[in-house]
Amino acid sequence: MLAAGIPHEDERVELLDGELVEMAAKGFAHDVVKNALMRRLVRPLPETIDLGIEGTLQLGPGLLLAPDLLLAPVSARRASPEGFCTIEGPEIPLVIEVAASSLAYDRGRKAALYARHGVREYWVVDAQERGAWMHRSPVEGAYRDMTELSRDATLRPEAAFLAGVTVPLPDLG
């Protein structure tokens, strides 16, 4: 499909186990929250950690995702045979999705995919209401620990290289 130009490089889609899922255009609230999260996370990062922003991640055959923010060691990145960035899930300490119109999709289907591939921590931040869900400890295709946070809460990543980083949800714009 990719060699034949399906999907076209300008299309906003994710490939989930062989199924093309069209993604909505990013709106103002999404960008405000994503950029605020990015500013909070980028400052303390050591040179050995990458902050990927809306890049394509190939987690497996037939599985192309475009996480809003992805933190992973630079050394963990590899090119897949198809030319996409691939990182083994357990090597990914944190993925963040900012949901405007995709809240149910991000909290359900994408959470299950990230857990199935062993991504250690996964946040979904509601761009409209500013609440959040933290998913941690993937076991057998599901997250063992899922915490819903209200709009006045503070996010704190588990990764040691982000020790001391706090993301107060009210500060996200």
Structure tokens belonging to residue 14: 């994710």
How many residues does this entry show for the chain?
Answer: 173
The one-letter amino acid at 162: L
What does the pLDDT read at residue 100? 85
What is the three-class DSSP state of 130?
Answer: coil
Question: Do 13 and 20 touch, CB atoms closer than 8 A?
Answer: yes
What does the pLDDT read at residue 164? 86
Angstrom distances, CA of residue 163 to CA of 47, 117, 119:
15, 24, 18
pTM of the model: 0.86
What does the pLDDT read at residue 1? 47
Average pLDDT for consecutive 10-residue bins of the chain (173 residues)? 49 59 72 93 92 92 90 96 93 95 90 96 95 96 96 95 92 89
Residues 6+ apart with CB under 8 A from 132: 123, 124, 125, 126, 148, 149, 153, 155, 169
How far is Cα 64 from Cα 18, in angstroms, rounded to an integer? 9
How far is Cα 7 from Cα 155, in angstroms, rounded to an integer? 35
Which backbone phi and psi does 73 adopt, to 5 degrees?
A: -60, 140
Strand partners, 94: 71
What does the pLDDT read at residue 101? 81
What does the pLDDT read at residue 135? 98
What does the pLDDT read at residue 5? 47
